[in-house]
Every structure is written in structure tokens, then in C-alpha cells.
Amino acid sequence: MTLQLFDTATRGLRELVPLRAGRVGMYVCGATVQSSPHIGHVRMAVAFDVLVRWLGRSGYDVTLIRNVTDIDDKILARSAEAGVPWWAWAQRHEREFTAAYDTLGVLPPTYEPRATGHVTEMVELMERLVERGHAYVTGPGDVWFDVRSWSEYGSLTNQRPEDLPPAPDDDGGAGDGPAKRDPRDFALWKGVKGSDPSGAAWPTPFGRGRPGWHLECSAMAQRYLGEAFDIHGGGLDLRFPHHENEQAQSRAAGYGFASMWLHSAWVTQGGAKMSKSLGNSLLVSTLLEQAAPVVLRYALASVHYRSMLEWTDETVHEAEATWVRLAGFVARAQERVGTPTFDDVAAAGLPAAFVAAMDDDLNVSAALAVVHEHLRAGNTALAEGADDAVVRAALVAVRAMLDVLGLDPARWAAADGDGRAARALDALVQAELDARAQARATKDWTTADAVRDRLAAAGVVVQDSPTGARWALATDLED
């Protein structure tokens, strides 16, 4: 079976057939850095990170472009409210997004262009659209895409142009020129307004101004991936108008643009999409005070990218409980047979059922079912004292599959600084376990129980086994 992905444009599964054999070019809409990242933002990043990892594991050379929108109406408005220069406001929040991606194990993109660094490409694209009769000027700096000039407008989201609402940027520009031709026409360039801060405008043949949101992504995608590329991705809320408008202006300019469109679903609370306007967003920084980064990643990566993720207190608790089981097995197995190298894990063959699940539109639920089958087999092998070869095979299989999802426990352990905190904790707990074992050997049950209770109060669960006591961090589900 080859990789099948759900293409939003055709509304069905399609086989991925790259334009260049063995290579995949992908553009994913990144953050508009107006505010701090919440769990909904990073859900999309993790979803496409899993795709990138699977493409790499499948032998493809991936070029991933994830842009940063650092000039935007909301950035200007929020920075003005805060009394901070717009560019400083954007850079501050861009750093927060980068930190969130890194903390959750999202691989860096091949290139991460900023909108403000690609004005030249935007102007060239805009000039091309004007020359071809798909864009027009109404006033100094005000340039619009003529929706009626492009017969395929609405095809990405399967909508008829006459049924579409007016574009939301009717007030683009200074308002000195005549009105745009059609309410659905959208801004390619916005002329300078009296309220615009200094430096938030660039010269063009049509007058000074700043870019419209849609123009930015088309220009950056063409700059780094060429006139046609394989996959364009983003959140479900970007299908219209953003992606519809991107496709229209790029194809009207004569470019093939994206061959396939992928969209990840939302994180919801109480059935409602997370957003600043609803006041129900969960900041990544806040959630990281409550759970380890890998637990948050597991919660995000373990749900199919096209399925809505309802975020509740149980979401994190369940993810933590599962992670403890996975990491616990890997730790016990490596204590028994040694630690396979990262190269060994990356080169290991993957179970056929896991591969089939991932090739089926990244069906992570089915893929994780295969992981847990091997987890159970590995735990059984450990409990029954099976040959080291059996334990090692289960260990490598579990780690290799989890690595595809960015969840290899050994990698996360290695990434935990230099491991001093983990080693210190292990040494302290082991000293307590040694004291408990000595008390049990002398039948001093009072002391033995006191040690166990002391560890439990600190969030450490003691598990007795034929080979001695082991420990694991407790979860709320185990309380």
C-alpha cells in the first residue's frame, strides 16, 4: 500500500505521487504572531510534524516551508494597545512560538520565512496579476484581486462565488480611491492609513502600503518551492478564505501551486473551537506548568489529524497514564538488554500493520494499537524472563514506532538536558527502595511501609516484582 492522504480539494483519499520522484515539497501556514501560542496552534504543528516524520521514514526527501506572518492588522492593533512597536511585538511572539515548537519536539522546518522579508516577491506576484487582468488598483497602494476574473474561484471549498460573503477587508487602504468592483474581491495590497504606525509600509509601483494576508503565503510558497509543489497544509479554519484565495491568485498568475491540500482539525472546549474571542484558549506555557512536554505531545499526536480534539482535564491525565506505561517498559527493557542506538532504531523494520495504518491517511489510532500490542508482548517477555533477544525485539519495535510519532522515550530522556535531574531522582528513590528492602529482609514491616508511604506522598509508585522493587511516577489516574 502506498501513502494515501485526504485531499481537501477533491474531498477524498488520494495517493501521494510527488512531482519529483523521492522528494516532497510542502508548505504549511505557520503562526500569525499576534499573541502567545495556545494548544490549538501547536496541535496543527504536531499534526504536520507527524506527516513530515512519516514521509522521512518512508524514504522521501522533504522540503518543509512553515512561514511566519509578522505583519498583519491584528499585530498592528495589539501592539498599539500595548504601546510596543509592531515589529517588536511580532518578534516577541515569534520567539514564543519557536520555543513552544521546540519544547513539544516539533522538527524545525527546512526554511521558515517571514512575510516582511519577502515584499519583493509579493510585489512581483501582484504586478503579474495586474498585467494578466486578475487584479486592479483603486487608490494609492490599494490593489485587489478580481474574483470574477477567475472562473475556478470557490473550487477548493466547493462553493459558488455568488454564494460567498463579502471579503472582510473592505476598508483596506486609505479609502481615498473608488470602491472595489465586487464585495468578494480581496486585498492584495493595502494602502497606508492614517492610523498605521511608521515603518509598516513598503513602496510599490501602485503606491506605499502593506501586504494582504493571502498574498504573503502565495509569494513565499513560490519563492521556496517553485511554481508547483506537492502539499499545502494548515488548520481547518484556513480553508476559506485564506487557502481559497491563495489558490486563486497563484493559479491566476499561471502557477500550478499545490497538488494536494491537507487540513488539521481544531482543538475544542465544550464543543467550541478554541479562540481568543471565546476566551477559552489554553496557553502552552500554562499547560507546561501542569504536564511534561512529552505528555502534551502524546495528547496531540495520538488523535487523527482530521478529528476534532476535545480538550478536558482528562485529556492530559489519560495521556500521562499512557506515557508512563510506554516509558516504563522502555526503561525496564533497556535495563535488561541495554539501550539500542538511535541509528539502530531508525533503521529497524516497522511492523506491517503499523505501516499500513500510517499509510492510511496517518491513522495514528490504528498505529498506536500496534504499538500497544508490542508493548504487551514486551512486558510479558520481561515478566516471564524470556530470552534477551525477545525482549530486545519488542523494545526496538516499540521505540521505532514511537519515534515515527516523535515519542521515542529514549530520545526524550536524552533531550532532558544532561539528565542530571533524572539521575538525581533515580538515586534518591533507589536509596529509599534499598532501605525498604533491608527493612523487609528483617521483617521490619513498619519501616518498610513508612518508606512506601513516603514515596507515594512524593508521587512515586512502588511496584514489587520477582526481580525486586521498581518505581514509576504516579498519575492522577493511579491515585
Question: What digits encode the pLDDT tens for the residues 39-68?
Answer: 999 999 999 999 999 999 999 999 999 999
What is d(CA 461, CA 465) in angstroms, rounded to the nearest whole number? 13
> Among positive and negative, which fits the CA dihedral 99, 103, 109, 110?
positive
| For range 203-216, the mean pLDDT | 95
Q: Which band of pLDDT confidence, cut at 50, 70 and 90, is reported for residue 444?
A: confident
pLDDT the model gives residue 459: 73
Cβ neighbours, 10 Å, residue 85 = 15
| For range 79-83, the mean pLDDT | 94
What is d(CA 361, CA 364) in angstroms, rounded to the nearest whole number? 9
Q: Are 54 and 358 in contact (CB under 8 A)?
A: yes
Per-residue DSSP letter, 149: G
Question: Nine-digit cell at 213?
Answer: 494576508
pTM given for the model: 0.85
Three state DSSP letters for 154-223: CCCCCCCHHHCCCCCCCCCCCCCCCCCCCCCCEEEEEECCCCCCCCCCECCCCCCEEECHHHHHHHHHHH
pLDDT the model gives residue 290: 87
| For range 305-334, the mean pLDDT | 94
Angle between helices 420-441 and 445-457 (to 10 degrees): 160
Q: Model confidence over 290-308: pLDDT tens digits?
A: 899 999 999 999 999 999 9
What is d(CA 288, CA 414) in angstroms, rounded to the nearest whole number? 19
| For range 403-415, the mean pLDDT | 94
Residue 70 has pLDDT above 90, yes or no: yes
Residue 418 has pLDDT above 70, yes or no: no
pLDDT the model gives residue 450: 85
Report the mean per-residue pLDDT for the chain: 90
Q: Strand 186-191 relative to strand 460-465: parallel, antiparallel, unpaired? A: unpaired
Residue % of the chain over a pLDDT of 70: 91
Amino acid at 38: H
What is d(CA 90, CA 71) in angstroms, rounded to the nearest whole number? 8
Between 417 and 252, residue with greater pLDDT = 252
Nearest C-alpha neighbor of 322 from the set 345, 291, 279: 291
Per-residue DSSP letter, 238: G
Residue 453 has pLDDT above 90, yes or no: no
Q: Are 249 and 5 in contact (CB under 8 A)?
A: no
Q: Are 176 and 140 in contact (CB under 8 A)?
A: yes
pLDDT the model gives residue 471: 79
pLDDT the model gives residue 177: 54
What is d(CA 41, CA 43) in angstroms, rounded to the nearest whole number? 6
Task: Mark 347-365 as b/e (b = at least 16 C-beta within 10 Å).
Answer: eeebbeebbebbbebbbbe
pLDDT the model gives residue 428: 63
| For range 29-35, the mean pLDDT | 95
**Poorest-pLDDT segment among 12-16, 162-166, 330-334:** 162-166
Helix (H) or strand (E) holding 87: helix 86-103
Between 273 and 282, residue with greater pLDDT = 282
Within 8 A by CB and 6+ apart from 134, the residues are 145, 146, 149, 150, 249, 252, 253
Within 8 A by CB and 6+ apart from 4, the residues are 13, 14, 15, 16, 359, 360, 361
Q: Model confidence over 234-268: pLDDT tens digits?
A: 999 999 999 999 999 999 999 999 999 999 999 98
Q: Which band of pLDDT confidence, cut at 50, 70 and 90, is reported for residue 171?
A: very low
What is d(CA 46, CA 264) in angstroms, rounded to the nearest whole number? 10
What is d(CA 301, CA 412) in angstroms, rounded to the nearest whole number? 15
Angle between helices 119-131 and 213-225 (to 10 degrees): 100
Residue 113 has pLDDT above 80, yes or no: yes
Residue 19 has pLDDT above 60, yes or no: yes
pLDDT the model gives residue 477: 33
Within 8 A by CB and 6+ apart from 173, the residues are 138, 139, 140, 141, 142, 187, 190, 191, 192, 193, 209
| For range 381-407, the mean pLDDT | 95
* Side-chain-side CA neighbours of residue 462 (13 Å): 22
